[in-house]
Copies of this chain bind each other. A is one copy, B any other.
Amino acid sequence: MDWETLARELAVPGDAKIVLVVLDGLGGLPVGGRTELEAARKPNLDALAARGACGLTTPVWPGITPGSGPAHLSLFGYDPLRYQLGRGILEALGSGVEVGPQDLVARGNFATLKAGLIGDRRAGRLATETNARLCRAINAALPVREGVETRLYPGKEHRFVARFRGEGLSDRLSDADPQKEGKPRLPAAPLAPEAERSAAVVNGYMDAVTALLKDEPVANTILIRGFSGLPSLPSMPELYKIRPAAVANYPMYKGLARLLGMTVVDAGSETSSLFEALEKHYKDFDFFYVHYKKTDAAGEDGNFDAKVAAIEEVDAFLPRLTALGPEVLVVTADHSTPSVLKGHSWHPNPFCLVSRFALPDDVARFSERDFGRGLLGSFPALQAMPLMLAAGLKLKKFGA
Is the Cβ of A359 less than 8 Å from the Cβ of B398? no
Is A35's CB within 8 Å of the partner chain B? yes
Distance in angstroms from A46 CB to nearest chain B CB is 18
Is A62's CB within 8 Å of the partner chain B? yes
CB-defined contacts of A341 to chain B, threshold 8 Å: 357
What's the Cα separation between A86 and B380 when bound, in Å? 30
Is A223's CB within 8 Å of the partner chain B? no
Is the Cβ of B387 less than 8 Å from the Cβ of A62? yes
* Given known A30-B359, A369-B359, A395-B346, contact A67–B400 (CB-CB < 8 A): yes
What's the Cα separation between A397 and B63 when bound, in Å? 10
Please, how many residues of chain A have a CB less than 8 angstroms from a CB on the other chain?
64
Is A66's CB within 8 Å of the partner chain B? yes
Is A250's CB within 8 Å of the partner chain B? no
Q: Which residue of B lies closest to A376 (CB)?
A: B378
Of B64, B372, B396, B397, the contact of A377 (CB 8 Å cutoff):
B372
Flag the segment in A77-85, A163-171, A197-205, A289-297 that touches B: A77-85
Is the Cβ of A67 less than 8 Å from the Cβ of B397? yes
Is the Cβ of A69 less than 8 Å from the Cβ of B400? yes
What's the Cα separation between A376 and B347 when bound, in Å? 10
Distance in angstroms from A372 CB to nearest chain B CB is 4
Q: Which residue of B lies closest to A389 (CB)?
A: B63
Is A103's CB within 8 Å of the partner chain B? no
Is the Cβ of A345 less than 8 Å from the Cβ of B357? yes
Is A189's CB within 8 Å of the partner chain B? no
Is A208's CB within 8 Å of the partner chain B? no
Is A142's CB within 8 Å of the partner chain B? no
Distance in angstroms from A66 CB to nearest chain B CB is 5
CB-defined contacts of A386 to chain B, threshold 8 Å: 61-64, 346
Distance in angstroms from A23 CB to nearest chain B CB is 18
Is the Cβ of B399 less than 8 Å from the Cβ of A67? yes
Q: Which residue of B lies closest to A66 (CB)?
A: B398
Is A174's CB within 8 Å of the partner chain B? no
Distance in angstroms from A81 CB to nearest chain B CB is 4
Is A375's CB within 8 Å of the partner chain B? yes
What's the Cα separation between A86 and B400 when bound, in Å? 7
Q: Which residue of B lies closest to A388 (CB)?
A: B63
What's the Cα separation between A395 and B63 when bound, in Å? 8
Is A157's CB within 8 Å of the partner chain B? no
What's the Cα separation between A345 and B68 when bound, in Å? 33
Is A383's CB within 8 Å of the partner chain B? yes
Distance in angstroms from A24 CB to nearest chain B CB is 14
What's the Cα separation between A3 and B368 when bound, in Å? 25
CB-defined contacts of A345 to chain B, threshold 8 Å: 357, 390
Q: Assuming A65-B390, A67-B400, A345-B390, what are 13 further A-B pairs, CB within 8 angstroms? A: A6-B61, A10-B64, A29-B359, A56-B377, A63-B388, A68-B400, A70-B399, A80-B398, A84-B399, A86-B400, A346-B390, A359-B368, A369-B375
Name the 8 nearest CB pairs between A and B, nearest first: A63-B386, A87-B400, A63-B390, A67-B399, A70-B399, A1-B81, A62-B383, A372-B375
Please, could you name 6 A-B residue pairs with CB atoms under 8 Å apart, sorted by A?
A1-B81, A62-B390, A69-B399, A84-B399, A340-B357, A359-B368
